[in-house]
Structure 1
């Protein structure tokens, strides 16, 4: 899995992903937005006092459309947000400059809907306060223009106020979408947790089955002999004692019950050595630690001719990983394996 995929998984679904901004449908909507604005400018050019500002404004809002529909995790980048707000303010000023001071305006006020569309996307992409600031700026611009054009401030308020209602709708809609994404992400996390728990249970069951198979392989032959009720000879008794020692090692010294150590312990016990394996570490060994531990314990067991050999993995936090104490008839030896030396 790549770093980007990992980051996306940790982030979860956001509104931009729900909107499908990377899809052909989003590209089609953007195309309709651009074409509609160009058509409005072209169709109302004869009503304008100045035509070039309107065409410059439509070029700006087209750039803004491409910016706000750019796929990016939410919240939308602050730098791009301010760029879009600049487009809203600039395009509004350009169109207002081009509008006539009197007469019907009709679709010549297309900039209101076009810029509200840009602000909608900013709201949905978690830039609510900045989007409202852009909407208020557009409203103030329109009121100021209407006042200076002789139409009256109230005319400008009536002209631009419906856009405020649209921003309110966008805010409510964005809140609903955010709640939906939270629920989706919560369900996704619960699904991942459930899958992880199921995997852990399955792994534990697999380990249990494996241990049961290993136990059956060792114990069943001995139990079969005992179930016959026939007298036991010395070889059978020795085999039963070997099995008992192996079972004890697998329980008390699970981390040391490795094939080379088990074989060395069997050889030592056949010579009359009392072998004890203890695992107080409780966690798996690394490959380097395993090799070092196997060498140390195997050497001590093969060197013992009689007496007792006790090998112990020490608890976490100790400076030493392993100790092997050999008590012979004439000597005592202790081997300690530091954790650093086993790396």
Structure 2
């Protein structure tokens, strides 16, 4: 049995006990018993309606103004407010003046307090306090303020106030729980991101060592006196190392092969990953790499500059320039200008 079911059963049992006291007038004076017979069932029906309203609704039901966070619809709250006014006046009207402070009459003070406590728990604070105030005024007019306070009105006020404080504490706890869950989720995402970056860096270091390790070892052995073929391999190793560090998202086996082939043809290739590819899925990246490999395969410029782009439509820009010497200048002519779209 759920906590809500247990609390509902306790609420029904308690309100039934309070109402049952209204039938035990014994030798007390009751001028209009029919009024009592009508008022007590009205109280129980409305009270139990506030207890069980919405119990059968599933958690998957869409939130509306009437069921959000277990709240009651406006008409149920208004009906409970009417009961808080009608039932005390009816009971005290039906009982003779000399018996209005007897338990079979004053049960209504606790009864209304219990009903307004339920309304408070079911997210109707304004109705709860309004009902309690109206009932308190009505009862005080019949038996006086001090007797009303002494016979249960103080307790009813305490019940409703305690219910409001409890709901406030529960709401704060729920907000803190949601916030904690969000922080835990963010921490987990950050940890996963860091783990992914660490794995990526390890892979890049391993590839760099594979690319540059042999020629570095040969350079150390010869004291830098490399043969022309070894110098070419050193330049290729340097290019592979720069590619792995500067543009890892653009690389796959085919692109690496075409980059090395372009450098062996004498093309100076520079890759720069300046962002813009982070939100692309792997199939989109694969299509971009395939197009880049095709462009590299047919490139003949002296220099190639490959840049990623944060532009919303362009993913990669490839510029091919030709000129004399090892450095670019404003006089170099642009032979190639290709843009790879983000969508394929």
TM-score computed with the length of structure 2 as normaliser: 0.72
2:9, 2:183 → 1: CA distance? 39
Deviation for aligned residue 1:66: 1.9
Residue ranges of structure 2 left out of the alignment (5+ in a row): 60-66, 324-332
The match for 2:303 is 308
Q: 1:123 to 1:322 in 2, by over 3 A?
A: same
The match for 2:253 is 259
Q: 1:37 to 1:119 in 2, by over 3 A?
A: closer
Q: Does 1:335 align with 2:337?
A: yes
Deviation for aligned residue 1:32: 3.0
The match for 1:197 is 190
Deviation for aligned residue 1:132: 1.0
Deviation for aligned residue 1:172: 4.2
Kept after mapping to 1: 8 A contact 2:114/2:159: no
The one of 36, 42, 52 equivalent to 2:38 is 52
The match for 2:64 is none
The one of 265, 274, 286 equivalent to 1:271 is 265
Q: Which secondary structure state, in structure 1, belongs to the residue aligned with residue 98 of structure 2?
A: coil
The match for 2:109 is 112
Which segment drifts farther, 163-172 or 223-232?
A: 223-232
Matches within 5 A, 1:68-147: 73-74=68-69, 76-77=71-72, 79=74, 80-103=76-99, 105-124=102-121, 127-144=124-141, 146=142
Kept after mapping to 1: 8 A contact 2:71/2:122: yes
Q: How many residues align?
A: 313
Matches within 5 A, 1:135-214: 135-144=132-141, 146=142, 151=143, 155-156=147-148, 158-159=150-151, 161-162=153-154, 163-181=156-174, 183-214=176-207
1:136, 1:228 → 2: CA distance? 97
Q: 1:270 to 1:112 in 2, by over 3 A?
A: same
Deviation for aligned residue 1:339: 4.0
TM-score computed with the length of structure 1 as normaliser: 0.73
Task: Give the CA RMSD over aligned residues.
Answer: 3.7
Deviation for aligned residue 1:233: 4.5
1:111, 1:286 → 2: CA distance? 68
Kept after mapping to 1: 8 A contact 2:72/2:123: no
Q: 1:121 to 1:184 in 2, by over 3 A?
A: farther
The match for 2:212 is 219
